[in-house]
Amino acid sequence: MKNIAVIGAGTMGNGIAHTFAQSGFKVQLIDISEESLKKGLATISKNLDRMVAKEKITEAQKQETLDNITTYTDTVEGVKNVNLVVEAATENIDLKLKIFKQLDAVCSQDTILATNTSSISITQIAAVTNRPSQVIGMHFMNPVPIMKLVEIIRGYSTSNDVTKTIMELSKKLGKIPTEVNDYPGFVANRILMPMLNESIETLYNGVAGVEEIDTVMKLGMAHPMGPLQLADFIGLDVCLSILNVMYDGFKNPKYAPCPLLINMVRAGKLGVKSGEGFYDYSESRKAENVAKQFLK
């Protein structure tokens, strides 16, 4: 298994492409937008530059990694002759089902189809294909090149051979794969999202402020990042989407998203990617922070 296609050049997609390419795989990175592909490659190059600066890789290894990536805006062309497709598109069930129907129609019969979904049912995605035994979840953590965990999610029909193949492949990437079964939120988000949602509820109820909540969790619970800052980093729209999937799947009110989270997403306050969430990430605030550091 040497030829990999990755669908989606966004944060997760370019990180997955980077990781495979750096491990010596030939990667065909696919996105409908040429601009997104250019941005994704620029992000990969920038992240590789950081690794060169830290002497984790050489300049030659950086160039070899970039040379292993070819970009496509045509999915049919992009998935030719690949052994594995990893879908990393937006966390939207209708979009994912559409993509997997197309992949099933154009990929060779032996190709394994994986999704990086963080919460959507693998079984439901597999059901729109004629190869449910070859559909599996590969839930990478962000940032992909750094984080070691990959949740390997078996759908109802995922075969033992496919599961074993993807577990071994993940190890070749330097990751630690963990096999889980197909239930809403899997393991990572089933535990994480209620904690983030409860943190937002705590803010919503006026118990404490943003920085106070994050400080308690960082200093008191040894979390490297506070829950509200982490929600900003993940994307508040993504958090809302995952909570909705879990609420719909379990019909349990403990998974119902906080009204504050719903309103912030409606207002376009999505966290880091929009420039504002629970914290301000705007250019003016960045300049202010730089000035403060300079004056210290």
pLDDT digits (tens, 9 = 90+) for 114-162: 999 999 999 999 999 999 999 999 999 999 999 999 999 999 999 999 9
Active-site residue flag, 59: no
At residue 124, φ and ψ (nearest 5 deg) are: -65, -40
Selected catalytic residue, list 118, 119, 170, 199: 118
Active-site residue flag, 3: no
Q: Is 142 annotated as a binding residue?
A: yes
Q: Read off the pTM.
A: 0.89
Active-site residue flag, 282: no
Selected catalytic residue, list 119, 139, 274, 276: 139
Tokens 């809302």 appear where? 240
- pLDDT for the residue 290: 39
* Mean pLDDT, residues 186-210: 97
Mean pLDDT of the chain: 94
Active-site residue flag, 18: no
- pLDDT for the residue 85: 98
Give the pLDDT confidence of 23-75 residue by residue, as tens digits: 999 999 999 999 999 999 999 999 999 999 999 999 999 999 999 999 999 99
The helix/strand count (H/E) of the chain reads as 14, 8
Q: Which residues of 200-222 are buried (b: 16+ CB within 10 A; e: fewer)?
A: bbbbeeeeeebeebbebbeeeee
The tokens describing 177, both together, are 């794969």
* Mean pLDDT, residues 215-241: 96
Q: Is 264 annotated as a binding residue?
A: no
- pLDDT for the residue 291: 38
Q: By percentage, how much of the chain surpasses pLDDT 90?
A: 94
Selected catalytic residue, list 47, 189, 197, 274: 189
The tokens describing 181, both together, are 């079964």
Q: Is 155 annotated as a binding residue?
A: no
Which of 136, 163, 114, 151 has its CA nearest to residue 13?
114
Q: Is 36 annotated as a binding residue?
A: no
Distances (CA, A) of 55 to 58, 72, 78: 7, 31, 33
Q: Is 8 annotated as a binding residue?
A: yes
Q: Is 147 annotated as a binding residue?
A: no
Whether pLDDT at 94 is above 80 = yes
* Mean pLDDT, residues 202-223: 98
- CATH 3.40.50.720 maps onto the chain at 3-181
Write the DSSP string, 75-104: HHHHTTT-SEEEE---S-HHHHHHHHHHHH
Q: Is 91 annotated as a binding residue?
A: yes
Q: Is 185 annotated as a binding residue?
A: no
Whether pLDDT at 80 is above 90 = yes
- pLDDT for the residue 194: 97
Q: Is 283 annotated as a binding residue?
A: no
- CATH 1.10.1040.10 maps onto the chain at 189-291
Selected catalytic residue, list 36, 151, 274, 276: 151
> Which CATH homologous superfamily contains domain 189-291?
N-(1-d-carboxylethyl)-l-norvaline Dehydrogenase; domain 2 (1.10.1040.10)
CATH class belonging to 3-181: alpha beta
